[in-house]
Chains A and B, each alone.
Chain A
Amino acid sequence: MKKYTPISLAFAAVFALLMGISGSYAQQPYFVLASTTSVENSGLLAHILPLFTGESGVSVRVVALGTGQALDTARRGDADLVLVHDPEAEAKFISEGHGINRREVAWNDFVVVGPAADPAKIKGNRDVLAGLRAIWSTNALFVSRGDLSGTDALEKRLWKAADLDIGKAGPWYKDIGGSMGAALNAAAALDAYTLTDRGTWLSFGNRQNIVILLEGDVRLINRYDVIELNPRLHPQIKRDLAKKFADWLVSPKGQSAIGNYELTGQRPFHPESDPKP
Chain B
Amino acid sequence: MNDFGTAVTLAFAMIARGDAALYGIIGLSLEVSISAAVIAGIIGSPAGAALAIYRFRGRGAIVLLVNAMLGLPPVVVGLAAYLLLSRSGPLGPLGLLYTPAAMIIVQTVLAIPIVTAIVHRAAAEFWARYGEGFQMAGATRLEIIPQLLMLGRAQVLTALLAGLGRTISEVGAIIIVGGNIAGATRTMTTAIALQTSMGNLPVALALGLVLITISLVLNGVAFLIAEKSKS
Contact = CB atoms under 8 A, between A and B. Distances in A.
A37 interface: yes
Interface string A1-45: 000001100100110011101100100001010000100010000
Which among A13, A25, A188 has the greatest number of chain B C-beta atoms within 10 A? A25
A77 B96 contact: no
Nearest to B142: A5
Contacts of B181: 32, 61-63
B168 interface: no
A167 interface: no
Given A6-B146, A63-B180, A64-B180, A18 B196 contact: no
Contacts of A17: 35, 39, 104
Given A25-B100, A185-B196, A63 B179 contact: yes
A54 interface: no
Interface string B174-218: 000001111110000000001011111101000000000000000
Interface in B67-109: 86-89, 92, 96-101, 104-105
A41 B197 contact: yes
A235 to B, nearest CB: 10
A46 B21 CA distance: 12
B2 to A, nearest CB: 13
Nearest to A236: B87
A17 B99 CA distance: 13
B100 A22 contact: yes
Given A21-B35, A181-B199, A10 B101 contact: no
B146 A21 contact: no
Which among A6, A13, A76, A204 has the greatest number of chain B C-beta atoms within 10 A? A76
A181 B197 contact: yes
B125 interface: no
Contacts of B180: 63-64
B197 A10 contact: no
B42 interface: yes
B105 A18 contact: yes
B201 A205 contact: yes
A207 B199 contact: yes
Given A61-B184, A236-B87, A22 B197 contact: no
A86 to B, nearest CB: 19
A198 B88 CA distance: 35
Given A184-B199, A205-B200, A77 B92 contact: yes
Which among B86, B98, B198 has the greatest number of chain A C-beta atoms within 10 A? B198
A182 interface: yes
A21 B101 contact: yes
A18 B198 contact: no
Contacts of B100: 21-22, 25
Closest 3 CB pairs of A and B: A181-B197, A77-B87, A206-B199
27 contacts: A10-B42, A10-B43, A14-B42, A17-B35, A18-B101, A21-B101, A21-B104, A22-B101, A25-B100, A30-B184, A32-B98, A32-B179, A41-B197, A46-B182, A61-B184, A62-B182, A64-B180, A77-B87, A78-B86, A78-B88, A78-B98, A179-B197, A181-B197, A204-B198, A205-B198, A205-B201, A206-B201
Interface of B: 31, 35, 39, 42-43, 46, 86-89, 92, 96-101, 104-105, 146, 179-184, 194, 196-201, 203
